[in-house]
Amino acid sequence: MADLFSLRGETALVTGGTRGIGQAVAIGLAEAGADVLLVQRSAESTETKKAVEALGRKAYIYVADLADPAAVAAIVPRALADGHTIRILVNCAGIQIRHAPEAFPDADYRAVMGVNADAVFALCRDAGAHMLGLAPSATTGRRGSIVNFASLLSFQGGLNVPAYAASKGAVVQLTKSFANSWTARGVTVNAVAPGYIATDMNEALINDTDRAASITARIPAGRWGTPDDFKGSVVYLASRAGAYVSGHTLVVDGGWMGR
C-alpha cells in the first residue's frame, strides 16, 4: 500500500510554496519522496527549501513573478536546462483582490486573471509538453501528473471577488480540457478546490467575527481547514494511487459543498 502513494525519484515543480497550502503541499510531496522545484517571487524565503532538505530530499528555488508572462514562459525551460525532469506540476500560487463589482478596476481584474489563470495555463502547457515526451515512470506508472488549485469559487460567485471567481472557474475548465487531451497519453490533470482554510488569503474573513462564525456553523467538520489538510490530497493525485483519476476537481472543504 505504501508504494501506491510513493513519489520516490520524482521531481515536482510547485508554485506558491513559500507559505500556506503551497508550503504544506511542497513538504508533503517531499515526505512522499519527491524532490521539489520551488517557484517564488524572490529567493529570500528559504523556509520551505530547508524543510524539504531536512527530509533528505533536494530543493531548488526558481525566482519568477507569475504576473509577468515572460517570466512564466521561462520557468520550465530554465528547469530543464538545469537537468531536471519534471514529473509533477502543482499550480498553487494565487492572488485575491476585493472590490465591489461596480467599482472593480480593469487593472486589478487583469492582475488576478494573469496570476490565477494565465500563468496556470502557460505552466500546464509547458510542463505538460515536457511530460508527454517522457517514458512512463516506474514509480507512478505514467508520464506525469498536474494538480491545479481551484476554489469553492470555481462553483460559487462569492462576494466582491468577481475576478477571483472568474479565474478559479477558468482553472477547473482548463483542467478538464488538458485532461481530455493528455490522459490517454499518460499525463493526468486534476484540480483541488479548497474550502474555507485558515491562511493569509482569508484573513479578512477570519477577522470578520460574525461572518467567520456563520461559515464555521455551515461546515460539517466543525472547523476551518488547515494547510496540512492538502498534503494527502495532492500526493494521492500525483502518485500511483490516483492513476485513474483525471479531469476531476477534488473538493476539500470539510463537507461545505454538501451542506
pLDDT tens, residue by residue, 105-149: 999 999 999 999 999 999 999 999 999 999 999 999 999 999 999
* Percentage of the residues of the chain whose pLDDT score is greater than 70: 100
Pairwise CA distance, residues 113 & 259, whole Å: 29
Q: Does residue 85 fall inside a structural domain?
A: yes
pLDDT tens, residue by residue, 235-259: 999 999 999 999 999 999 999 999 8
For the chain, how many structural domains are there in total? Answer: 1
Short-list 70, 44, 172, CA closest to 126:
70
pLDDT of residue 44: 96
Cβ atoms < 10 Å from Cβ of 228: 13
pLDDT of residue 250: 98
- E strand intervals along 64-170: 88-91, 144-149
pLDDT of residue 209: 80
CATH number at residue 67: 3.40.50.720
The domain of 183 spans 2-252
Q: Does residue 48 fall inside a structural domain?
A: yes
Pairwise CA distance, residues 179 & 251, whole Å: 17
Is 250 strand, coil or helix?
strand
Q: Is residue 151 within 8 Å of 164, Cβ to Cβ?
A: yes
pLDDT of residue 112: 98
Q: Does residue 259 fall inside a structural domain?
A: no
Q: How far is CA 39 from CA 12, 18, 19, 69, 166, in A?
A: 11, 9, 12, 14, 24
Q: Does residue 257 fall inside a structural domain?
A: no
In one-letter notation, the amino acid at residue 78 is R
Q: What is the mean pLDDT of residues 49-73?
A: 98
Cell 517564488, located at residue: 40
Q: Does residue 209 fall inside a structural domain?
A: yes
Q: How confident is the model at residue 161 (pLDDT cuts 50, 70, 90)?
A: very high
Does 164 qualify as catalytic in the annotation?
Answer: yes
Q: Does residue 137 fall inside a structural domain?
A: yes
Q: Does residue 258 fall inside a structural domain?
A: no
Q: Does residue 51 fall inside a structural domain?
A: yes
Q: Which one is catalytic: 60, 109, 164, 196?
A: 164
Residue 36: strand pairing partners = 12, 59
Pairwise CA distance, residues 238 & 147, whole Å: 7
